[in-house]
Amino acid sequence: MQSFWDDHDYLHYIISETNQHNLDNISRTKAYENFYMTYPEIKWALLAGIVSRNAGWNMTDLWVASFRTMLSHSQLRRLFMTYERANWLIFSDAYPQLLVYQLSTELKKPLFYLLSKFQVSSYMQKEWRFFWQYHDTQRLMHALIINEQNVIQTPVIKQDYFKRYVFLRLPYLLQDMLLLNAIILPAKSKQLYGIFVQDFTNIDKRITLGKQIASIMLNSKVYHPLIEFIRSVEHTGSRLDYERFLNIKTEKSPILRTVYPVITHHDTIRKDWYKKRGIKRNWTKEIIEKPDACISESFYKRRRLMYYYHLLRRIFM
């Protein structure tokens, strides 16, 4: 990085890089994972890459026969836009933070005053300054989990359109009740670790879920196979990325870029969630989650039941 750059140059670089990598789920996932490989002290970047991979798999799930039989075209489109909007919003907020850290590291001086130019919460501005001084990697990871779940709370979870047409509709409520969604930590093996997602609209539970996933991710039993998978398996958005290593028969989801176009998002001026809501004490509590059992059997048992239901509907419709 050029030492004679000024703030205008830094801002131009951050905006350009963020826009370039925020095109779709594939580019976002790669950007997170590449950043982690260069700056492994920012553990949240690895967590974000994993969650983003899962978002891509959820998107292409909507193209398999069982989903397309049970849901209408408008329901499928709305579910896709829910995943896409949250994925885009989190990246648009988080990636400038990562790039400011990158610039600060390269120039060996803190540039976190730039975060205000990107409407980053005052909470994260404070946390980045704390991290620069004390290098508490765990605290920073938890802070980023808290921040990003608050970032999507108003424009996605509480937004009238998504609330009315997604979160209060039967497809989402059934998926939530039957635990049909899970965050998978992929590996090139027959065992999958992860956690089922439930009550996604509850911010307390989303923050707890993020910390649980992070705890499992950083366990040596999971971490090393996960890193090997990320280094060697290109993210396509299809579950076949990891399902090819499982001894199962399942519906094959397509490659994401063959079925979805690039979506143009419009952003409104963001208000500082921290000034409005503050921090709950339980959000900062440490969570230690042991990967005692893999979830591949229970996850795919539920998916098979859904597939059989789809077949029955085809027979009797």
Lookup result for tokens 């489109």:
77
Kindly tell me if the per-residue pLDDT of 81 is higher than 70: yes
Contact partners, residue 114, CB within 8 Å, separation at least 6: 7, 10, 11, 14, 100
pLDDT for 311: 64
Q: Count the helices and strands in the chain (H runs, E runs).
A: 14, 2
Q: How far apart are CA 86 and CA 149, in angstroms?
A: 9
Q: How far apart are CA 316 and CA 142, in angstroms?
A: 49
pLDDT for 89: 97
The per-residue pLDDT for range 253-289, each reduced to its tens digit, is 999 999 999 999 988 778 899 999 999 999 999 988 8
pLDDT for 202: 94
Q: How far apart are CA 234 and CA 184, in angstroms?
A: 16
The per-residue pLDDT for range 104-117, each reduced to its tens digit, is 999 999 999 999 99
The per-residue pLDDT for range 199-228, each reduced to its tens digit, is 899 999 999 999 999 999 999 999 999 999
Whose CA is closest to 44, among 136, 109, 133?
136
Whose CA is closest to 114, among 276, 32, 275, 6?
6
Asked if residues 194 and 183 have their Cβ atoms less than 8 Å apart, the reply is: yes
pLDDT for 177: 60
Q: How far apart are CA 84 and CA 254, in angstroms?
A: 17
pLDDT for 312: 64
> Which amino acid type is present at position 298?
S
Structure tokens at 169: 């509709």
The per-residue pLDDT for range 145-161, each reduced to its tens digit, is 999 999 999 999 998 98
Average predicted confidence (pLDDT) for the chain: 91
Angle at Cα 188 formed by Cα 88 and Cα 199, nearest 5°?
45
Given phi > 0 = left and psi -120 to 50 = alpha, else beta, which region is 136? Answer: beta
* DSSP-derived 3-state class of residue 193: strand
Kindly tell me if the per-residue pLDDT of 1 is higher than 70: no
Give DSSP secondary structure letters for 77-120: HHHHHHHHHHHHHHHHHHHHHHHHHHHHHHHTS--GGGGGGGT-
pLDDT for 313: 61
pLDDT for 139: 97
Whose CA is closest to 20, among 266, 262, 270, 268?
262
What letter does residue 156 receive in the DSSP assignment?
Answer: I
Q: How far is CA 90 from CA 25, 46, 181, 223, 274, in A?
A: 11, 14, 20, 23, 16
Asked if residues 7 and 114 have their Cβ atoms less than 8 Å apart, the reply is: yes
